Amino acid sequence: MAPEQAAAMRLGGGTAPPPRSMWMGTLKRWLVGSSLVAAVLTFSPAFVYLATPLVVTSPLKPADAIVILGGGVEKDGRPTRGTLDRTLYGVSLYKQGLAKSLILSTGLAKYFNEARLMSEIVLSEGVPEQALILEERSRNTHENLEYVEQILADRHWRTAIVVSSPYHMRRIALVSLRCCSGTTLLYAPVHPEGLYQYQSLLHRLRQARAVYREYVGIGWYWMRGYL
């Protein structure tokens, strides 16, 4: 018997707890098993059933504003694919006449100011500067909606179209139940059909990472009391 086990028995008067190596072994087996299950689901038809509940889509109609949530910036200052897709889709909705104002919501500024970067893209697409409102304080989805709700309330606006990636929409909808009780939100995911298409191994791995991360995010938000 290991000295630490014997000491534990003398102090506690009972069975010694399992050694640390046993717990580490159990954890490793659990991680390996979970990874294998995730890999099987990722490349099977079951992936569609995992992804589908995350997508929330609303019939679109004119609103007071279109809200575009940031999706990240690369270290070299380029927008990520998610940020670019969201921004351009929001601009297309604006050009369809669905709102007269665009709210760009992100406080990300680790490498570059994401809101300013998004505004440059929007302006390059011909949207007038007076149509833009930058929300530059938010650090996560909860704060996105919290600060956007303040902007809408200050202007006595009651409706908004929210643009983000398809896998992100369920968390947005859940958070909005608490953060945006005074506003009617319409959900406009970017190319939701693309979430189910298999284009390449790398594309599917990126899809899977986004989907699994979103489920973890929803669980974390529930634990934090954001939902």
Q: Looking at the DSSP assignment, which residues form a beta bridge with residue 184?
A: 159
* For range 123-145, the mean pLDDT: 94
Q: Please give the residue that has the higher pLDDT: either 118 or 3.
A: 118
Q: Look up residue 184 and give its two tokens.
A: 């009617």
**pLDDT exceeds cutoff 60 at 109:** yes
| Mean pLDDT rounded to a whole number for the chain | 82
Distance, CA of 71 to CA of 67 (rounded, Å): 13
> What number of residues does the chain have?
227
pLDDT at res. 85: 92
Q: What is the pLDDT of residues 48-70, one digit of tens each?
A: 778 888 999 999 999 999 999 99
Give the rounded percent of residues in the chain with a pLDDT score beyond 90.
51
Distance, CA of 225 to CA of 211 (rounded, Å): 21
The band of 124, judged by pLDDT with boundaries at 50, 70 and 90, is very high
pLDDT at res. 182: 83
Distance, CA of 59 to CA of 40 (rounded, Å): 34
Q: Looking at the DSSP assignment, which residues form a beta bridge with residue 73?
A: 79
Backbone angles phi, psi at 174, to 5 degrees: -70, -45
pLDDT at res. 133: 96
Q: Looking at the DSSP assignment, which residues form a beta bridge with residue 135?
A: 105
* Topology given in CATH for the domain delimited by 53-190: Rossmann fold (3.40.50)
Distance, CA of 157 to CA of 135 (rounded, Å): 16
Instruction: Classify burial at 2, counting beta carbons within 10 Å of its beta carbon; exposed 0-12, middle 13-18, buried 19 or more.
Output: exposed
* For range 66-91, the mean pLDDT: 91
Q: What is the pLDDT of residues 6-59, one digit of tens each?
A: 554 454 555 555 566 665 666 555 444 455 445 545 555 667 778 888 999 999
Region at 13 (left for phi over 0; alpha for psi -120 to 50; beta for the rest): left
pLDDT at res. 22: 61
CB neighbour list of residue 30: distance below 8 Å, 6 or more residues apart: none
pLDDT at res. 63: 97
Q: What is the pLDDT of residues 146-183, one digit of tens each?
A: 999 999 999 999 999 999 999 899 999 999 998 888 89
**pLDDT exceeds cutoff 70 at 189:** yes
pLDDT at res. 188: 96
Backbone angles phi, psi at 212, to 5 degrees: -65, -40
pLDDT at res. 193: 58
Q: What is the pTM of this model?
A: 0.77
**pLDDT exceeds cutoff 70 at 128:** yes
